[in-house]
A and B are shown apart, each in its own frame.
Chain A
């Protein structure tokens, strides 16, 4: 009961902080929109090419947007000592990570889901393709947040900051990218996207179970 109340207080704290720093919130959001909108200018804007590369471009923009927000995740709490105080709370530290990662997804991953269908129209994707892309993003964005959180936990206390997180984390995104984009591509070529969804979900379940523990552990190391 007390654990739940503490977690609720932590959840409230995280939301409050994010809404006091709205520039952070909008940076990720608009970064995603702008990067997505730049791609069509960089390639031949033909109605055959764009639908083919669209899903990949949207996914890559989501990866980049997620690395932008990862760089800041945990960092300010670590620098002012509040991360240490939060880890002194009388609750298991893995639960703390679940709350923090959930809020991080809610404020950086979830907004992408809202604009992704609109951006898909820029690439001329069809209705069904957009639906498949959305399902892959719903499963995939929590994964991006979790993997990114691990990257930022591992680099706490070290120099290099954001750039290092990106180098560490972007290669780990590759499986998510392959199966995320793969689902839409296979649907377009007449194959059921179910396999890709299942693989993505399997990775998500695995990450949900093990990564918070690993994140908590690497934060504890950084605090020592």
Chain B
């Protein structure tokens, strides 16, 4: 787990955009298994999940529809029951038919976590400020998801203003200075 910290404007989001391949670095390259990610971008995109501070969900669609669409566009096709389980897990069980716009900020965040719960095929999670707008229980839940992802051999790159609350042996903190 790479825990990126830094002041506002230090370049945390830019770094994550470069790692996820949205942005090309001015110099240097991002390697995955020794290959430049821009050479096999489609393969790289199927092994990583990039979630930034934008919700990337549609107000007009229901919570369940949003989850289903987000997953299917990223190449994951699952049964509705499994998606419902994921929603239960993140505490949105009664909200699955509600339009996305009626959710609170924290609930919207929880929905983007649900995506990570369902999709077990991506070893690399790139999360920009995942704890924003979450309540204490939500933060605790997400930390649990990340820890079990790490324990299962996965990788997480994240930015946050909170102090890292993970087991030390798999944690690396990167402090960006301007």
Docked-complex contact A21 and B60, CB < 8 angstroms? yes
Interface majority SS on B: helix, strand, loop or mixed?
Answer: loop
Which chain B residues lie closer than 8 Å to A12 at the CB level? 69
Give Cα A16 to B61, complex, Å: 8
Per the bound structure, the CA–CA distance linking A12 and B77 in Å amounts to 14
Q: Which residues of B lie under 8 Å from residue A92 when comparing CB positions?
A: 42
- Measured between alpha carbons, how far is A203 from B52 in the docked complex, in Å? 40
Q: What count of chain B residues pass the 8 Å CB interface test?
A: 27
Partner of B58, one of A6, A10, A17, A89: A17
Is B174 an interface residue when CB atoms closer than 8 A count as contact? no
Q: How far is the CA of A126 from the CA of B165 in the complex (A)?
A: 77
Contacts of A20 in B (CB 8 A): 60-61
With both beta carbons as reference points, the residue of chain A lying nearest to B50 in the complex is identified as A88
- Interface pair A80/B61, CB less than 8 Å apart: no
Could you tell me which residues of chain B, from 14 to 29, have a CB within 8 Å of some CB in chain A? Answer: 17, 20, 22-24
Q: Chain B residues near A86 (CB, 8 Å)?
A: 73
- 8 Å CB interface, A179-224 against B: 223-224
Query: Which of chain A's residues have a CB closer than 8 A to the CB of B55?
Result: 80-81
Contact between A91 and B50, CB atoms less than 8 A apart: no
A121-134 near B? 1/0 per residue, CB < 8 Å: 00000000000000
The answer to whether A80 and B60 touch across the interface, beta carbons within 8 angstroms, is no
Residues of B whose CB lies within 8 Å of any CB of A are 17, 20, 22-24, 42-43, 45-46, 50, 52, 54-61, 65, 69-70, 72-75, 77
List 10 A-B pairs, Cβ < 8 Å: A6-B72, A6-B75, A9-B77, A80-B55, A81-B54, A81-B55, A84-B56, A85-B73, A224-B23, A224-B24
Additional A-B contact list (7), CB under 8 Å, known A80-B59, A86-B73, A88-B20: A9-B73, A80-B57, A84-B56, A88-B22, A90-B43, A90-B75, A224-B22
